[in-house]
Structure 1
Amino acid sequence: MQLNQPSQREYYFNNEVVSRFELYNSLFLTLPFYKIKDTGTLLPLFFKSCEDGIKSHEKPEALIEKFFDKYVQDKGEESIIDLLFRFIQYIERQVVLFDAVEDASFTKLNTSDEQSSLRALFQKANDDANLHEKIDQLIEEFSLRLVLTAHPTQFYPGPVLGIINDLTAAIKSNDITTINQLLQQLGKTPFFNKKSPTPVDEAMSLAWYLENVFYFAAANIQTGLNQLLSEYHIDPKKVIELGFWPGGDRDGNPNVKAQTTLEVSKLLRQILFRCYYRDFRNVKRRITFRGVEEDINKLQEVFYENAFNSSLEEKDISDEIIKHLNNIVGILNKYHDGLFANIVQDLLRKVELYRCYFASLDIRQDSRVLRKVHEYCRSQKPINSLYAENYGELSEEEKLKTISLRTAKIIYADEQDDLIKDALQTIAEIKDIQQKNGEEACHRFIISNCQQASDILQLMELFLWNGWEAENLSIDFVPLFETVNDLSGAGEIMKRLYTHPFYQKHLALRGGKQHIMLGFSDSTKDGGYLMANWSIFTAKVALTKVAEEHNIQLAFFDGRGGPPARGGGKTHRFYASMGKEIANKNIQLTVQGQTISSQYGSVDSATFNIEQLINAGISSGVKSKHNVLLDKENFDILNQMAKDSYDAYIALRNDPLFLEYLEKLSPLSLLSKITISSRPVKRNAGTKLKLDDLRAIGFVTSWSQLKQNVPGFYGVGTALKTQEDLGNWAQVQKTYQQSGYFKTIVDNCIMSMSKSDFEITAYLANDPTFGSFWKQLHAEFELSKAMLLKLTGHETLMENYPVEKKSIAVREKIILPLVLIQHFALDKLQGDLSEEKQQAYEKLAIRTVYGIVNAGRNLA
């Protein structure tokens, strides 16, 4: 049965996913929890009390007290907290079960549309010589890089991920016995760490996905793509690249040291070779013929030693491995009828993809830190003779004239502080990583908060002063533009770099390719949802134009989070809607938090989502249409809407209650106590909370916990209503109908709103402190909802995505009690409590965060 029609998918979802979940959920009665019978019996009653209380706009405290008065004999405070904790444990595992049931049905729910597949595009090229030539050229240049980051919204520890994986497989085959055992295992397995992980721990956790998902999915896709290309007489080309941030991303994370980077690089290599060895054992078991003994024996030694001998001297041996595997394939084809050549070629494909490093380790540091490092080095001999003491006070133009970019050997006369020492050691050790694992193992240095061309040139100088030479500077320097203001000036910064003689020579050595990273998260926190998206769009247009003027091949690296407020949502639709004015031949994006487990948690889902991105990039490149948003009438309308939305958002942000509302009513101030990340929740830890210091991830997570998702919609309704009042509604509708990019912005905004529920906090309308502020948020939500429904012609939010809408509804229903328990605990924390009670309610509030984020899949 074909399931590409929404009604068919919806039918399958209702009759398979929901029904299976309800069936297997009954097995939870046997979970080995303390007093599980009471929990299993009382939770449905508690859920009903929550629903009724919300309809009556009751405060969570009153709602919970009423429930205990009616259904529970022991009404002591300790007993209340104890039962609420058991509710949380129960619901957390319900979320896992629903994840597993939904993932088990992934392939049936996500059947690709054959008409939009790459194969369909290639078949069309058979009859169109120009299209065939376009595809040939595009494939030569196209690449997709997925970069795994250690952002703190991945709540499932390794053992739980393993259980989910096994549970999904058992559900696929309806193995009730195994499902029951796995649910019991789940009941006994802790869902969180007792202490915060180190950066190496985070790397280990994310490496689970590399080892169990990406290792297979990326290789399978590359194999299929190579086969498709060969059918159409196009030379195969490596398309998929993997990147990795844990251990390399030190922006705001004092726990990442130079030694950490080396450890993670070694870890990635060792895990990769264990994957190779696992595959090689199967090859060795099958390839028992004459003529291959020497190559087999050599590979046995190489794979085993690199997988298990931690004291082995590391070096890049990927070319040697590829040569031996090719020898075996040649002998099998020539003398043994190609028997089992396919399994050798499968391993060969993986070695060609992952070499000796698995995923490229990116280094990232804030420009303000790097400026301090440069300042320190300028005070040391012989560099102090090249710079005047007032260099730091010079204008940008004067700095660019002063920067010498000479190779030198610094003589350090004193001890550096930790940040300076780390930066200098890391610069030296990148070369060591490249020598051991190959250049691609670590070749990008990302400058966060990049505000001027000198930020990049000064970093290049630090390399030249610490063991690197200009002609062998095998590093891509990647500026990261994040705020609305920085995005607007990005084109001018890059123009200065492209015209700088030293940088021109460096880019020539790097194949004329420039990587530029754009941050969605901070731009949303800075300017609101619509302005962030529009600023990034216009920045991409300006940066592409500057790159083309200077004959530079531009690769945009998008720092996307999980939710729409941080660049998530229907990501592939953004790339599919790019016009010829935006460089789109190299798609690069971060994959972080719950997006990793929800979109890349299994080989099936990873394969589907990677293929979606490749299809989007290649289809967009082949069509190469003009982006209609750049037509004056469309550009002007979006530009004005972005400004109106920005003004509305900034007015809200400047409200004195803005941060206080978030601090008191959401778990924002408690996020630092959640033991899932090595990185602090905010920069400048220990100081008073300021919005500028607050990380976007904590900011967006807090709004999602409130079920208000303000960063994902606020200002959109105002912008649309203003245009309607000005008589421009017909033009807004025309822009929406013509622009796939604008449609995606709208769809993602609607998705964000679908995960909001202001009824839960309606009791705040009468709050003496926050009542008017809540009403303001609610009014903009209702206005945005009304205007978006009018624009799309729909009657309900996400009407055009019925399966996704139903999935969200089921998930939100499961975790409704968690949201109310959280509000109850946070309200209790506003009172005068003993230290023991304070800790108990803090723990209660913190524990609710896990399940809420896990259920949302892209809330943080």
Structure 2
Amino acid sequence: MPASNTARLTSRLTDDAALPKVDQDLRHLMDAFAEVLRDIGESPVAERLPWPRTDTALVATDPDGANTWPEDPHDPLATRCVEARSIAFQILQQAEENALAQTRRQVESGGALEADSGSWEQVLVRLAADGWTPEEIAKALGDIRVEPVLTAHPTEAKRASVLHHHRAVYRLLVDNENQMWTPGERAALRDETKAALERLWRTGEILLEKPTVEGELGIILYFLGTMFPQVLPWLERRLRTAWTRVGFDPKLLDDPTRRPRVSFGTWVGGDRDGHPFVTPEVTAWALEQLSAMALENLRHRLEALAAGLSLTVSRQPAPPALMARIQALTEDLGAPGDAARSRNPGEPWRQLVNLMIAALPPAAGPVPEGHYRRVETLMADVDLLGDTLVAVGARRLAMRDVARVRTLVRSFGFHLAVLDIRQNSAFHDRALAQLLVAAGIDGGADFPTWDEARRVAFLSAELASPRPFVHDGERVGTEAASVLGCLRVVAERVRARGTDGLGALIVSMTRGLSDLLVITLLAREAGLLHVEPGASAACRLPVVPLFETIEDLDHGAGILEAFLSHPVTRASLERQRADSGAADLVQQVMVGYSDSGKDGGLMASQWGLHRAQAAMAEVGRRHGVRIRFFHGRGGTISRGSGPTHRFVRAQPFGAIAGDLRLTEQGETISQKYANIPTASHNLELLEAGALNATLRDRRGPPSDHGLGPVMDRLAEVSRLRYRELLEADGFMTFYAQATPIDVIESSRIGSRPARRSGRRTLEDLRAIPWVFAWSQARFLVSGWFGVGTALETLRADDPDAFERLAETKRAVKWPPLHYLISNAATAWASADADIMRRYAALVDEAEIRDRLLGLILEEYERTRTSLEAIYQGPLSKTRPRVARALDLRAPALEPLHRQQIALLRDWRALRAAGKDHQAETRLPSLLQTVNAIAAGLGATG
């Protein structure tokens, strides 16, 4: 299965206890769904549900063979069966998710400490075994920072209301775990479950209109503002429980600074790369919405805290520090302060909380005098509350009540999540050219074509001058107006509230130093540069390169070297350190998994990313700058996904250094974070993995495995083979006809266009629809193509090196290799040669069809042979977890592929005949198959 979801769910499904639990929950939900369908007159659909009641084990027999599934793809019954199957796959996912959650509960209740791979318990046990003391580990916890960045890439095929209904079904499944229910109460739960399933059925999954950026932000706000505040207390409890279970002194965690920090970011409203609907007004609105929800949550939490802190001076004296702060805050706030203090006389702790509520800033606009401008001031007051409670002996209240507020403030501040601003380097070039023309600079219109040396010289000279090219109100070109409009929104936010809540200025497709200096110069135009006499200009926000293609990753270390050597960069890093209060200089670098995978295939992408990060981390060490890598991972193996704990372990030496930032995109957000136990576990994997990597790196680089040159050879051979496919005559014709890419481009699952500029070329097509289309047709070429040729060539040319590599993989001696080969094997197993042939039959020209299908199937077989040589046996036997999950889904997916192919053939014929209206009426049925197959595979793009 091509999704991170599969790797995650199958990683522990071999437990004898977990598999029957999946079967039990699946039966419970599927029986309820079948009853609903029969009750509302849909018995023919109920009879065609997968995993029929006669099953006694996790084996998918399917009644929907050629004789029972309607032959006519336009038969309304066939359409309804597709919709039901989509829901059934979601039910299966929920059954698996709950089984894993309940298995983890059993482990926590007394199972083996290392049973849950990547968990706190496993990491703590192994660190202790390798010589770290509990004191050293506790001290390091405060150095760990994890920041998931939620993006709305067009990979979430489900409507927001459908996501809500799925969450309701899961909650009822969890409620059903309670063994204390009476028969009547259990019957009521079943009725609630059936009602939730009926809502799902009656709602429908197809997005009737493309979502807006505002709608996408609404979904993100649910996770950021509702789910994660509930999850964080669970996360802290898991750490404390694991700490105690492994035998460490719990008092070592009493210091509230000894906690990993979880914060969040988002791109919704700030990602402008190829997205014409993210206007300056949308960016301003997004910042306001994020702040409004953060402040609303803080207000509610502080109100609850005030209700609980009813301690009176008649029972305990108020510490002088508490009274002094009450007096100072009252004076700062004026009349509102007097009103807040006058409430609850004789209850000073409650009075201080009342004043803290009164001092919260507004969500937008200038901050009134006396109100909190920086979240650090609020945090100091929270700490004062805790310290003074401890001083009067109320430690329990400090640890329980105040600590929860502290966690909320530390993770969300006044902004909920930092908003990154991203744009393409070519767009920036056009914007600057328009500004140069407006300023009357000779040759400015040709700026995008200047060579690198000329660009850098010009940009460096301009950055030494404070003069603007244009003044507010002057008319400039479209690109210049767009960039400056956005940056001026950001600059106004900085002037009003500082840099809190603002992320980085990310430059997509960074090809050289000049790309980073261009955005810095554009920031000058908007007022984002801080200039002091006699000093270099300093940008208030981080300027971040995004290296995406294989070539760009290869050049990344050289570009970073030049950037860190530039005086404006050093001044900017110093200024950003002063703004944030950080202890060291930090340069963020984003690495893209999607475009590198699309560009060079899995093996070249993964190894290129590894080599690039190692080289850039070394550049940072030479400059005394910590490199903060930002991992742009997608939801499929082709786009960087894979088991979270293995991903973290696979990072090169020095690449984490206490700080892990990564994207969570599209459907992976709901898969990982829609339910509290699952969300807590996924964040735990990030925190525990970051701690493990950070401590181990502090002891120096690991011993040399000697496989670097071998991996270089494998990556190059794999890339050449992959490019041979992409550059083959007729490839785009094959891809366009053998996959449903045209349907995906007509879908309504994301606000952003599928192509960067609208040109119908491979280069212009985004990586997400590229992978999505291959997944739907079960080719998944970017997840495995080229791997077989590379391994086979190595085995033939250097058998000793191949055996050394295979033994290293089998013994899990080198995590990057283990992660790469495991992911390739999972992607290969998720492909299906028979289904590939069926989709390839859609290609009109026989010569193109036969030649390219033959090339793909030849590599498919070569990859199987090579992987089985490493695993020493058939993958279905040596990797039973993945095989079991795939075998469960395969028969249920088969009629969906058959239905999609028939509909595709008909839809394309109508379009070719110019019958666009008729074709449009058929599109919803096609989109239903896309949704259902995506649900079965657990991923889109």
TM-score, L = length of structure 2: 0.81
Distance 1:830 1:161, change over 3 A: closer
Equivalent residue runs for 1:327-476 within 5 Å: 327-330=384-387, 332-334=389-391, 337-338=394-395, 340-341=397-398, 342-381=400-439, 384=441, 392-403=448-459, 404=461, 405=463, 406-412=465-471, 414-435=474-495, 438-471=498-531, 473-476=539-542
Quick check: 468-477 or 744-753, which moved more? Answer: 468-477
Quick check: 564-573 or 92-101, which moved more? Answer: 92-101
1:650 Cα deviation after fit: 0.7
Matched with 1:164 is: 166
Distance 1:664 1:600, change over 3 A: same
1:523 Cα deviation after fit: 0.6
Matched with 1:60 is: none
1:662 Cα deviation after fit: 2.2
Contact 1:555 1:583 in 2 (8 A): yes
Distance 1:781 1:237, change over 3 A: same
Matched with 2:722 is: 649
Gapped runs of 5+ residues in structure 2?
Answer: 1-8, 55-60, 177-188, 244-249, 313-346, 532-537, 578-584
Equivalent residue runs for 1:55-454 within 5 Å: 67=67, 80-110=74-104, 114-115=113-114, 118=120, 135=137, 138-139=140-141, 141-174=143-176, 175-218=189-232, 220-221=234-235, 231=252, 235-236=257-258, 239-290=261-312, 291=347, 292-301=349-358, 316=373, 318-330=375-387, 332-334=389-391, 337-338=394-395, 340-341=397-398, 342-381=400-439, 384=441, 392-403=448-459, 404=461, 405=463, 406-412=465-471, 414-435=474-495, 438-454=498-514
1:784 Cα deviation after fit: 0.9
The partner residue of 1:537 within 606, 610, 630 is 610
1:797 Cα deviation after fit: 4.1
Distance 1:626 1:701, change over 3 A: farther
Contact 2:505 2:542 in 1 (8 A): yes
Distance 2:675 2:420 in 1: 24
Quick check: 31-40 or 489-498, which moved more? Answer: 31-40
2:467 alignment partner AA: A
The answer as to 2:857 corresponding to 1:778 is yes
1:379 Cα deviation after fit: 2.6
1:756 Cα deviation after fit: 1.6
1:269 alignment partner AA: S
1:508 Cα deviation after fit: 2.7
Distance 1:8 1:396 in 2: 54
3-state DSSP class of the match of 1:89? helix
Matched with 2:247 is: none
The answer as to 2:829 corresponding to 1:754 is yes
Matched with 1:58 is: none
The partner residue of 2:627 within 540, 550, 554 is 554
Residues 613-644 of structure 1: CA distance to partner in whole angstroms, max 9, x if unpaired?
Answer: 2222221222237777965x411211111111
Contact 2:737 2:840 in 1 (8 A): no
1:657 Cα deviation after fit: 3.0
Gapped runs of 5+ residues in structure 1?
Answer: 49-54, 56-62
Distance 2:560 2:890 in 1: 45
1:164 alignment partner AA: H
2:455 alignment partner AA: K
Distance 1:469 1:763, change over 3 A: closer
Matched with 1:484 is: 550
Matched with 2:803 is: 730
Distance 2:857 2:377 in 1: 63
Residues 567-593 of structure 1: CA distance to partner in whole angstroms, max 9, x if unpaired?
Answer: 001233132133436454322111112
Distance 2:548 2:680 in 1: 30
Residues 166-201 of structure 1: CA distance to partner in whole angstroms, max 9, x if unpaired?
Answer: 211211232322211211222222323321111121
1:778 alignment partner AA: L
The answer as to 2:817 corresponding to 1:742 is yes
Residues 451-508 of structure 1: CA distance to partner in whole angstroms, max 9, x if unpaired?
Answer: 0101111211111222233346321110001111111111111111122222222223
3-state DSSP class of the match of 1:147? strand
1:605 Cα deviation after fit: 1.4
1:761 Cα deviation after fit: 3.6
The answer as to 2:791 corresponding to 1:720 is yes
Contact 1:364 1:447 in 2 (8 A): yes
Distance 1:90 1:796, change over 3 A: same
Distance 1:508 1:22, change over 3 A: same
Matched with 2:776 is: 705
Matched with 2:184 is: none
Contact 1:409 1:467 in 2 (8 A): no
Distance 1:496 1:333, change over 3 A: closer
Quick check: 663-672 or 390-399, which moved more? Answer: 390-399
1:723 Cα deviation after fit: 1.1
1:763 Cα deviation after fit: 4.3
Matched with 2:901 is: 823
The answer as to 2:43 corresponding to 1:37 is yes
Distance 2:389 2:51 in 1: 66
Quick check: 199-208 or 183-192, which moved more? Answer: 183-192
1:87 alignment partner AA: C
2:927 alignment partner AA: I
Matched with 2:866 is: 787
Residues 790-831 of structure 1: CA distance to partner in whole angstroms, max 9, x if unpaired?
Answer: 2022432484462x5433433444333222211111122242
Distance 2:936 2:557 in 1: 40
Distance 2:740 2:126 in 1: 54
Distance 1:253 1:572, change over 3 A: same
1:86 Cα deviation after fit: 0.6
Percent of aligned pairs with the same amino acid: 20
Distance 1:451 1:748 in 2: 29
1:324 Cα deviation after fit: 4.7
Matched with 1:690 is: 761
The partner residue of 2:679 within 606, 615, 624 is 606
1:357 Cα deviation after fit: 0.6
3-state DSSP class of the match of 2:15? helix
Residues 62-83 of structure 1: CA distance to partner in whole angstroms, max 9, x if unpaired?
Answer: x99x64xx787xx8x6x93322
Distance 2:234 2:48 in 1: 47
The answer as to 2:32 corresponding to 1:11 is no
Matched with 2:936 is: 855
Distance 1:826 1:47, change over 3 A: farther
Distance 1:137 1:19 in 2: 44
Matched with 1:59 is: none
Distance 2:875 2:10 in 1: 19
Distance 1:497 1:189 in 2: 52
Contact 2:302 2:353 in 1 (8 A): no
TM-score, L = length of structure 1: 0.88
The partner residue of 2:31 within 15, 26, 31 is 26
1:359 Cα deviation after fit: 0.8
Contact 2:673 2:679 in 1 (8 A): yes
The partner residue of 2:644 within 563, 571, 587 is 571
Contact 2:586 2:625 in 1 (8 A): yes
Equivalent residue runs for 1:583-662 within 5 Å: 584-624=657-697, 633-662=706-735
Contact 2:49 2:88 in 1 (8 A): no
Distance 1:393 1:679 in 2: 28
Quick check: 694-703 or 413-422, which moved more? Answer: 413-422
The partner residue of 1:671 within 721, 744, 751 is 744
3-state DSSP class of the match of 1:379? helix
CA RMSD of aligned residues (A): 3.5
Quick check: 313-322 or 693-702, which moved more? Answer: 313-322
Distance 1:489 1:84, change over 3 A: same
